[in-house]
Amino acid sequence: MSAPDLPHSAPAAQGVDALGVHAFLDALEAAPDIEPHSLMIMRHGRLVAAGWWAPYTAGRRHLLYSLSKSFTATAAALAEAEGLLDFDAQVASYFPEFEADITDPRSRAMLVRHVASMASGHRRDTVDEAFGRNVSEPVRQFLLLPPDADPGTVFAYNQPATYTLAAIVQRVTGQPLTAYLRPRLLDPLGIGEVAWLSDRTGRELGFSGLHATTDAIARFGQLYLRDGLWEGERLLPEGWAARAAHPRTPTAGLMGDVNRQDWDRGYGYQFWTSRHGYRGDGAFGQFCLVLPEHDVVIAATSATERMQEYLNLAWKHLLPAFGPEPLTGREAADAELRERLGRLALPPAPGRPEPFGRERDWAGAVFTSSDGAGPLRSAGLTRDADGWTLTLTGERDRPDRPDRLDLRIAGEGWTVAEEPVPAAVSGGWSDGGTLAGDVVFLETPHRLALTCSRAKGTLTAHWRTSPLHPGPLTALRAPRGSV
């Protein structure tokens, strides 16, 4: 059974100037280093703007990267409320099988609230050490890494800290995060099914890997904006939203970029304090912005390494659009915005659906990677009555585990395939000797650009944003079989 839609409203009725939203859309689409995928804006509990840039669509789940952390903290809050978890307990107490090995006094002093606030005492991200090739238990390895300072005194954006928090929740509840959250949070919110990547231990990662729709992000943000109340029902402990959003560890100047103003305001329980409100966010521009002072939630997905620029544009164009009173005489402007949001699309790569000159020069052609180190090993072209198929072979292709995608070349626009991974391709022949295109992996932020040279028989390919979870091309999708 599908969830009921969020309550809708015309922007003007909620004091939102459609021209400001237009200005934000203009700025996003003009920014060369930002590729927007979706946007939802809620004001006073009403959805006033929502759009997806084709080939991304409303019903498709999207990899949220570190926005996953905010859901993990929410699971920890629920476990605390049920008496299963204590934020002031020692982390090691939840893993008695490792206690004898943990001799460093700082490691033993590490509390749950320290890992929940990125204050384990380490001054670096220990992810490579905790998840090394020969590591069978990341929690044990993390706890064996002596902190550089007393826990609670320094900040480091440290993935194993959140992983350990997630491991505690899964241990004390006896369930994966998705299963634990489903009846307590996801179903009551109308989110329903989500998917979360698991590691070699079978645990859901916690620090990353959650796949959910933009609608799910918006509902999650609205729940926090309302201090855990949803349609009159309390889903989160009273006061938890303020606890989670309160900056517990200073972060100024610690993220390595003087231009990251919204990362310099402190860190709470898996939420960042922003110049305006607070937020959960994930790599490449996955955002849940909660703005209590404006009674606004902004949910967005995108592909960008310029996340501060994205926030700068939001503050510049959207904040002035949130007025104190309803606006009158704005029906035409609201209708124009609604029409624009309904036709958003990413520009497809250019190209013809048929080659220049003789088809037989291309039919059956095989192209091999020109550098031997890219994401693709080879590409091949075949022709049938319905047109051309481009077969991509990933660099992780094995006889017992094929890593291949078959994509139809259709010329203008995007052509979507659902298997073996949801992907969309655009492009075609740009001249007599070159076939070029883009492949968008629709359940992730990632786009692959490729070029095949007929004269050289070579293939070049590169990511516009490189996936952070290693794996084959066929793994660039939400895991199936989640709850």
Per CATH, is 11-81+168-341 categorized as 3.40.710.10? yes
Measured between its terminal Cα atoms, the distance across the chain in Å is 14
Integer Cα distance of 419 and 68 in angstroms: 25
- Residue 338: predicted pLDDT: 98
Are 303 and 37 in contact, with CB atoms under 8 Å apart? Answer: yes
pLDDT digits (tens, 9 = 90+) for 205-230: 999 999 999 999 999 999 999 999 99
Integer Cα distance of 255 and 261 in angstroms: 10
Select from 304, 284, 297, 273 the least CA-distant residue to 215: 297
Give residues with Cβ within 8 angstroms of 159, minimum separation 6: 125, 126, 127, 130, 207, 208
- Residue 480: predicted pLDDT: 84
Domain with CATH 3.40.710.10 in the chain: 11-81+168-341
Domain with CATH 2.40.128 in the chain: 359-475
- Residue 381: predicted pLDDT: 94
Higher pLDDT, 399 or 372: 399
Please compute the mean of the pLDDT values over residues 423-444 and round it to a whole number.
94
- Residue 483: predicted pLDDT: 45
pLDDT digits (tens, 9 = 90+) for 22-69: 999 999 999 999 999 999 999 999 999 999 999 999 999 999 999 999
Torsion of CA 286, 1, 479, 473, to 10 degrees: -70
pLDDT digits (tens, 9 = 90+) for 142-155: 999 999 999 999 99
pLDDT surpasses 50 at 90: yes
Q: What percent of the chain has pLDDT over 70?
A: 97
pLDDT surpasses 70 at 481: no
Give residues with Cβ within 8 angstroms of 447, minimum separation 6: 35, 303, 438, 439, 440, 441, 463, 464, 465
Q: Name beta bridge partners: 31.
A: none
pLDDT digits (tens, 9 = 90+) for 243-283: 999 999 889 876 555 567 999 999 999 999 999 999 999 99
pLDDT digits (tens, 9 = 90+) for 437-473: 999 999 999 999 999 999 999 999 999 999 999 889 9
- Residue 1: predicted pLDDT: 45
- Residue 166: predicted pLDDT: 98
Look over the chain and give the mean of its residue pLDDT values, rounded to a whole number.
94
Integer Cα distance of 218 and 291 in angstroms: 12
- Residue 399: predicted pLDDT: 87
The strand pair at 447-453 and 296-304 is best described as unpaired
Instruction: Give the HSE-up count for residue 440: Cα atoms under 13 Å, Cβ half-sphere.
Output: 27
- Residue 386: predicted pLDDT: 84
Q: What percent of the chain has pLDDT over 90?
A: 87
Please compute the mean of the pLDDT values over residues 315-325 and round it to a whole number.
97
CATH fold label, 359-475: Lipocalin (2.40.128)
pLDDT surpasses 70 at 2: no
pLDDT digits (tens, 9 = 90+) for 336-376: 999 999 999 999 999 998 898 888 889 999 999 987 667 99
